[in-house]
Amino acid sequence: MSDENTINIKLEEKSSDFPKSIIDENGEEIKIEYEKSVKPKREEWSNRFEFILCCIGTAVGLGNVWRFPYLCYKNGGGAFLIPYTITLCFIGLPLFFMELALGQFASQGAIGIWSISPMFKGIGYGMTMVSGLVCIYYNIIIAQCLFYFGVSFTSLLPWSNCNNSWNNRTLCYDGTDNSTQLSGKISPSEEYYEKHFLNMSDGIEDMGWPQWRLLVSLVIAWCIVIVILLKGIKYMGKVSYFTALFPYIILTILLIRGLVLPGSLNGILYYIRPDFKYLRNPRVWVEAATQIFFSLSVCNGNLITMSSYNKFTNNCLRDAVLVAVINCATSVYGGLVIFSNMGFMAFAKNVSMTDVVKGGPGLAFKVYPEALTKMPLSPLWSVLFFLMMIILGIGSQIALVETVLAGLQDELVRAKKLVTSNQKILYRLVMCLILFVLGVPMTCRGGMYVLEIFDGAVSGSPMLILALVEVLVVSYCYGIERFRMDIKLMIGYKPNKFWKYSWMIISPFLIFILIIGLTVLSILKKSTFPIGFVILQIVLSLLPIFFVISIFAFVYCKKGGWLLFSELKKPLHHWGPAHDEHKQNFYSSIQDESKTNSNFFQSKESILKKFHRRLSQSENDKNRINSSQEMEMEKLINDFAVTHSVNELPKF
């Protein structure tokens, strides 16, 4: 038990070299008692390669296979690569690098990282909300792939003909007769997907009950995710060897198979043939930019979370460029696989490419399965295709869920609500159960319409707005030079001026233009949903932005308002590297840069001086503020100084 003349200090490691007492200004001896700190050490990747594989698994997902090829096809073929590459270089890559650097520097998740500027902590909650919304419906798609994977273990694929009990013999057309009247006809694969598997209703108003096939598949999908996440980050790293590399093996097998089929060359030419007139259409540029956001997984907290488990000295710049290039190359490669098979399908059905090409789930569960039925050994190719889809989906899903879990877990640990390992396991199980329950409505007959609402909500402006606020806060509130110095502490050199001006000027300007363009396109687009569900989609899309605005307003109103506005933009005093050895270098760099800490971490005394200086600027202000009000405001600043300032920079 310590008395008034004893100081308790917690350290990560004790040492006999530390002083046992000090003499205060009155000449009295004050004893010092040292305790070992119980601060939990954050897990780290076993090696750099596992981190890169996890980033690839996170970024390379289902969209690389079913979204990018379709966008490329409908937006000018090879010409689409021009806006895609430009937005990659000046928006996607700078944001990708920024988020890797932030997470690695502070070893914090998507929420905790915003102690860099406490007024904007809502950005972290907004990112977590985006990941939460996506992972709810993303696992529905994985569940569908699991079901198709299971039913592919047969001698004859169930969607290969019109002779099944669920087929409408009048409308079903499998190409075995000589009919030329195809208007109103439906393929066996489409009928199997919509009428047998999903039992889809005619509209969202008719939701119906959960369909047992999809519900059971969803349970299995969540069990896979939970098992991986409960094992910890090192196990995720081991799983990434399979989830990141095996899809490339399957893609290559499917590409080789597709290239030897008749008509495949026509399909590939249809995919890559450039039509430069499309570059005059603003929609093409907007779709290229939004695809970059989804493809690279920026602004949903995934990259910040994954990089927070890195070693402090990892070269995150090299990793950012490497992963971004691999991801975009995979998108192009996946397009070759898809369109070589689409060309064969058009040849087999004797129709044009425009009659067979679709994007999104329609490609994965209607068009491509139909193409598989035209091949010899079709069940084998179906098993490989859906196995690849499952692996791609799981790789992205575990990153999405980990972002949600780690972000909130960091906050609970900081508040000492989660201490023991059992508490953390229970927390993760409960959170996954909640996410599963939220996804159950999407297993109903009208569930795909709900999925479409969720997808539309997060694929609009929210991620672009979060990106704009993020890059502005880091560049101007925290300071671009300070940020470049932080990166130098990690990788040994400051990023060049391309990165500096991209973060400060080019990226914010282009993102702002894209927000305007996407908003205009959204207004012009006519929704097929009833007005109530349109409002629901708008509310979901505004939720991430609501967190940014509400937390900004709360901090502004409750912690000093305009009086302390300039201080609230600055980092909390615990901002910085997690380990003492790196913190020492961090604080030394601050002192070397400014020779004072007053322009970075504000000292309590400097904040009080600023308060009194502002208070005395006007005689009217002095007359309007009585002594009790002044005491209240001084108490506010004292409370503020506890978390937002330090009396002096720590000595090591």
On whether 57 is known to bind a ligand per the annotation, the reply is yes
On whether 392 is known to bind a ligand per the annotation, the reply is yes
**Rounded CA separation 381/384 (Å):** 5
CA R_g for the chain: 28
Contacts of 382 (CB under 8 A, 6+ apart): 148, 152, 157, 369, 372
Nearest to 309 by CA among 509, 103, 508, 148: 103
Beta bridge mates, 306: none
Is-contact 64 332, C-beta < 8 A? Answer: no
On whether 297 is known to bind a ligand per the annotation, the reply is no
On whether 59 is known to bind a ligand per the annotation, the reply is yes
Name the DSSP class of 571: P
On whether 47 is known to bind a ligand per the annotation, the reply is no
Q: How many residues does the chain have?
A: 652
Number of helices (H), then strands (E), in the chain: 28, 3
On whether 396 is known to bind a ligand per the annotation, the reply is yes
**Rounded CA separation 109/92 (Å):** 20
Is-contact 35 8, C-beta < 8 A? Answer: yes
The torsion angle over the Cα atoms of residues 432, 438, 443 and 445, rounded to 10 degrees, is: 180
Tokens 């009396």 found at: 647
Q: What are phi and psi of 56, to 5 degrees?
A: -65, -45
On whether 117 is known to bind a ligand per the annotation, the reply is no
Name the DSSP class of 108: -
On whether 60 is known to bind a ligand per the annotation, the reply is yes
**Rounded CA separation 215/213 (Å):** 6
- Classify strands 21-23 and 29-36 as parallel, antiparallel or unpaired: antiparallel
Contacts of 246 (CB under 8 A, 6+ apart): 388, 391
Rounded alpha-carbon distances, angstroms, from residue 280 to 18, 89, 283, 367, 453: 69, 20, 9, 30, 30
Binding site membership: which residues? Answer: 57, 59-60, 64, 295, 327, 392, 396
Binding site membership for Na(+): which residues? Answer: 57, 59-60, 64, 295, 327, 392, 396
